[in-house]
Amino acid sequence: MNELFERLSAESRERLREQPSPAWSEPTLATLVHEPFSHSDWLFEPKLDGERCLIVRHGDRVDVLSRSRKPLDRTYPEIVAAVPRLVEPDCVLDGEVVAFDGELTSFARLQQRMQLVDEESTPSNIAIRCYLFDVLHLAGYDTTGLPLRDRKKLLSSAVEFADPLRWTPYEDTDGEQYHQRACARGWEGTLAKDATAPYEHGRSRSWLKFKCVASQELVIGGFTEPTGSRPDLGALLVGYYEGDNLAYAGKVGTGFDEATLEDLRKRLDRLEREHNPFAEEVREHGAHWVAPELVAQISFTEWTRDGKLRHPSYQGLRRDKQPSEVTREHGK
C-alpha cells in the first residue's frame, strides 16, 4: 500500500477500497441550522463565501469542476497550472475557490472571475485562492469511507500547500466560541463537521452550517425598470420553489454597481417572456417577466411573516445550482 497511508491505523486502512480514479464524485452539502454547539467529536471550520469545486487529478490530466459538474478550468487556470506540482498524481480533492476583499472572502468580488468564460465579459486580474478541506480518492483508493479526521491526515500528505492551494484551518471541540469570533470578524459563518463520519454524497447532517448573515440562492423571475438616474434596471424579482411552483420572495434593489446592472439587463432581456412565472400575482409597476433560468445569491436580514425578504441585497449570480433545486432554507 502507498506510503501516503502510513499515518492511518490498521483499522482505518482496512476501510480503504481499491477503486480506479473517478472522473466525478458528488460533493457533500451542509445542512443549515441555527444553534452553534460544542462537541469533542466535531471539527469547526470557516464558512467561505466562494464557489465550491472538486479538483480531479489523474496523471497529467487535471479537471476543476463546480458542484454541479460544470468545468471551471478556463475560469481558474492558475489552479489547473498549480495542481501537477502540488498534488499527488491520483487524487480527488474537495474545496472552495475564493477571492478576498481585504481580509474577508467576497462572493461579489469572485463574480469578476466567475464570468471569465463569458465572451461578453472582460477577463479580470483578481487573485483567487482555493481552500482545500477534504480528499475523496487517493493513490488508487476510495477514501470516502474513512472518518473525517483520517481524511484530513491524508489531505495534508497529498498536497503541498502553496498558493493558490491553501489548507482550510479548523478548530476542535468549542464550536460556540469559534462561531462568536467568526461573526465578530465579519465572516459569512461557520461549519461544523462530524470528525467520526464518512464522506456523504449530497445533503448531509454530518456537515452543518451556521450563518452570521442570512443569505441564500434565489431564482430571478423578473425585473423592474429603473427610476431616476439609475441605469438599466430597477430591481430583481426573485423567488424559490415549493414543489413545482415558484414562490415570490420579493424584490432586490440594492447591491449593484453600474457594470453589474448593464450585464444583468443584457442577460435578462434575452430571457424575457410574456407571462408571470411566479405562482402568485406580483404587483410591481413596470414589471418584466423572464424565464426562471438565472440563480442569484442574495443577502438579507430576515424573512417576514408572509415569506418575503427583509432588506435584501444582491451579491452575484450563481452557476453551480439549477433553478429547480432552489428552495427556501429553513434552519432546525
Tell me the mean pLDDT per 10 residues along the chain, length 332: 89 94 96 93 96 96 96 95 97 97 91 65 76 98 97 98 98 93 92 98 96 92 91 96 97 92 96 97 93 96 90 92 91 56
Q: What does the domain layout of the chain look like in residue ranges?
A: 27-46+170-212, 49-167, 214-325
Candidates 272, 277, 266, 283; CA nearest to 326 is 277
288/86 Cα distance (integer angstroms) = 49
Tell me, what's the pLDDT at 230?
86
Candidates 215, 200, 173; CA nearest to 30 is 200
Q: Which CATH class is domain 49-167?
A: alpha beta
Fold of 214-325: OB fold (Dihydrolipoamide Acetyltransferase, E2P) (2.40.50)
Q: What is the largest CA-CA distance in the chain?
A: 70
End-to-end CA distance of the chain: 43
The active-site residue, picked from 47, 153, 193, 251, is 47
**Torsions phi, psi of 283, nearest 5?**
-95, 85
3-state class of 106 per DSSP? coil
Q: What is the pTM of this model?
A: 0.83
Tell me, what's the pLDDT at 264?
96
Q: Would you mind telling me the total number of residues written for the chain in this entry?
A: 332
Tell me, what's the pLDDT at 1?
67
CATH number of 27-46+170-212: 3.30.1490.70
Tell me, what's the pLDDT at 124?
64
Whether residue 47 lies in the annotated active site: yes
82/267 Cα distance (integer angstroms) = 33
